[in-house]
């Protein structure tokens, strides 16, 4: 028959001390993992932000180019057809005047 030893207060104290040490090590490990994941997440966010900014800058440049082309086309049309351009401008002005005067 196997005999079991009854734990003494010193045994319990040693087990509690070991448990405290294990909890401290576990806490440290969890903290390190959290910091590592936080750094990874921050790097990912920075990378996505840089990509989004670059894409936005490309779109702005494209819109500026298109706006310049449209302005150049309008200027060319006005130079080629000054009477028609004047008529369109007068009609637009009349329309805006009618809309704003009814308020």
Whole-number CA gyration radius for the chain: 38
Q: So where are the chain's domains?
A: 23-101
**pTM attached to this predicted model:** 0.49
Q: What is the pLDDT of residues 7-55, one digit of tens each?
A: 788 888 899 999 999 999 999 999 888 888 888 888 899 999 999 999 9
Q: What is the pLDDT of residues 7-17, one digit of tens each?
A: 788 888 899 99
- Between the CA atoms of 25, 29, 30 and 35, what dihedral angle is there, to the nearest 10 degrees? 140
Q: Is the dihedral of CA 44, 46, 48, 50 positive or negative?
A: negative
Q: Any idea what the Cα angle at residue 7 is, between residues 6 and 13, rounded to 5°?
A: 170
Task: Give the C-alpha separation, 31 to 62, whole Å.
Answer: 46
- What percent of the chain is predicted at pLDDT more than 70? 95
Task: Give the DSSP H/E element, type plus range, for residue 37.
Answer: helix 9-80
For residue 38, the model assigns a pLDDT of 85
């Amino acid at each position: 028959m196997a005999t079991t030893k009854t734990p003494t207060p010193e045994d319990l104290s040693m087990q509690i001390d070991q448990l405290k040490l294990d909890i401290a090590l576990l806490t440290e490990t969890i903290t390190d993992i959290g910091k590592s994941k936080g750094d990874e997440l921050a790097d990912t966010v920075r990378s996505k932000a840089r990509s989004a900014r670059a894409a936005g800058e490309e779109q702005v440049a494209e819109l500026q180019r298109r706006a310049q082309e449209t302005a150049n086309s309008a200027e060319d049309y006005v130079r080629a057809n000054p009477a028609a351009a004047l008529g369109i401008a007068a009609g637009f002005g009349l329309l805006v005047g009618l809309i704003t005067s009814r308020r």
